[in-house]
């Protein structure tokens, strides 16, 4: 296949056969009890140097409690899949956790320019849809995937993509390296103790993240009986055999929203965005991460049940988002 142009960015090398072997040797198809708390899940399944993906973002059904636990445990040298994200990458960088990022979209601010200028963060350019396609290729067991976008953009030279001559039509087409993260963290509406999970409403790539990753941690608003999944299997978004840990995390996406459950905490969102735009997230991290030992303690000491009830009342879009 003739290569017409190629980006110069580093990328996680695709290894579909190696990934297949990993799944075969480490992902049992039997029903295994996987419940644990957030500290245990992050300690066991996220390692220094991992490539980490997450679905959605800090303000919309993102795995916010798990992201804070990654920072709390001071994981190091993480390479982050920065698609459809706003401040999660900023928090991971300023928390000393992330040193590389494939960027589809992130919330810009002084934190980013300072981190890149200081050599604390290496960035590689993609787009939201391109990063999603890379995960899709990884989920399908492919080494690459072709797309009819991204070529000719300013981001292409900073990526790991290649522009090739299509052997069928002779026209140029972009090839993207497949992505198989070391670990994905995903927040869901419902899960059972074995890892079967349901996501209601808008999603991005939670299924692809689960199928493409070596290890998967799911946090759930609600733990339900496995019989519920058996009664209505079509509503299962993520199958149990892809999941390694299940964490019961009510309000696990806080300060973001979970459709049909609770609205976002606008005051908290403004506080977080303010830190990114000032280029100083340390006060935020101290208040919301380091000074508390867990998600539950944060909710109790920093938020309170009255505020949580208010967020529940404000979530007015409910059709299709619950059982």
CA torsion 15-88-208-105 (nearest 10°) is -90
Asked whether residue 122 is assigned to any structural domain, the reply reads yes
- Ordered mean pLDDT values, 10 residues apiece, the chain (323 residues): 96 98 96 98 98 92 97 98 91 97 89 93 96 97 97 96 96 98 98 97 90 98 97 97 98 95 95 92 97 98 97 82 58
Closest CA to 196 of 226, 153, 157: 226
Q: Mark out the alpha helices in the chain (DSSP H runs).
A: 16-26, 38-45, 64-72, 88-94, 110-117, 128-139, 206-212, 226-231, 266-278, 282-285, 295-298, 305-314
Residue 146's closest CA among 179, 178, 180, 173? 173
Using CA atoms, how far apart are residues 189 and 248, in angstroms rounded to an integer? 10
Whole-number pLDDT of residue 107: 80
For residue 319, is it within any domain? no
pLDDT score for 85:
86
**Which domain CATH number covers 302?**
3.40.1080.10
Interatomic CA distance for residues 101 and 86, integer angstroms: 13
Q: Are 187 and 157 in contact (CB under 8 A)?
A: no
In a domain, 191, yes or no: yes
Residue 323: per-residue pLDDT: 52
Q: Is residue 321 in a domain?
A: no
Among positive and negative, which fits the CA dihedral 56, 70, 184, 9?
Answer: positive
**Residue 167: half-sphere exposure toward Cβ, Cα within 13 Å:** 3
Read off the pLDDT of residues 201-213 as tens digits, 9 standing for 90 and up: 878 899 999 999 9
Q: Is residue 35 part of a domain?
A: yes
Quote the pLDDT of residue 201.
82
pLDDT in tens, 139-150: 999 999 999 999
Cβ–Cβ < 8 Å for 218, 197 = yes
Give the C-alpha distances (Å, rounded to integers) separating 227 from 136, 177, 231, 322: 30, 39, 6, 17
- Whole-angstrom CA distances from 272 to 101, 253, 310 are 20, 14, 20
Q: What residues make up the domain containing 195?
A: 3-314
* 323 domain residue, yes or no: no
Asked whether residue 153 is domain-assigned, the answer is: yes
* HEC sequence for 224-292: CCHHHHHHCHHHCCECHHHCCEEEECCCCCCCCEECCCECCCHHHHHHHHHHHHHCCCHHHHHHHHHCC
Classify residue 24: in a domain, yes or no: yes
Q: Domain count for the chain, please give it.
A: 1
């Amino acid at each position: 296949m003739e290569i017409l142009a190629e980006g110069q960015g580093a990328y996680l090398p695709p290894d579909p056969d190696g990934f297949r072997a990993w799944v075969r040797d480490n992902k049992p198809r039997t029903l295994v009890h996987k419940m644990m708390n957030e500290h245990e899940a992050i300690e066991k399944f996220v390692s220094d140097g991992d490539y980490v993906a997450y679905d959605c973002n800090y303000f919309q059904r993102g795995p916010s409690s798990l992201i804070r636990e990654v920072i709390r445990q001071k994981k190091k040298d993480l390479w982050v899949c920065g698609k459809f994200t706003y401040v999660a990458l900023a928090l991971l960088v300023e928390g000393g956790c992330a040193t590389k990022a494939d960027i589809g979209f992130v919330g810009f601010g002084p934190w980013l320019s300072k981190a890149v200028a200081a050599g604390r963060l290496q960035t590689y350019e993609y787009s939201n849809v391109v990063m999603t396609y890379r995960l899709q290729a990884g989920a399908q067991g492919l080494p690459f995937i072709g797309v009819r976008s991204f070529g000719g953009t300013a981001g292409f030279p900073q990526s790991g993509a290649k522009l090739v001559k299509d052997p069928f039509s002779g026209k140029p087409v972009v090839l993207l390296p497949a992505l198989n993260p070391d670990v994905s963290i995903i927040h869901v509406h419902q899960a059972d103790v074995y890892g079967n999970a349901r996501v209601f409403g808008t999603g991005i790539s939670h299924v692809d993240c689960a199928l493409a990753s070596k290890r998967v941690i799911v946090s759930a608003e609600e733990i339900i009986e496995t019989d519920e999944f058996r009664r209505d299997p079509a509503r299962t978004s993520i199958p149990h055999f892809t999941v390694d840990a299940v964490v019961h995390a009510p309000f696990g996406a806080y300060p973001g929203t979970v459709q049909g459950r609770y609205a976002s905490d606008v005051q908290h969102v403004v506080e977080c965005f303010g830190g990114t735009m000032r280029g100083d997230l340390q006060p935020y991290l101290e208040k919301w991460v380091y000074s508390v030992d867990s998600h539950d303690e944060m909710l109790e000491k920093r938020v309170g049940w009255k505020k949580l009830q208010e967020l529940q009342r404000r979530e007015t879009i409910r059709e299709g988002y619950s059982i």
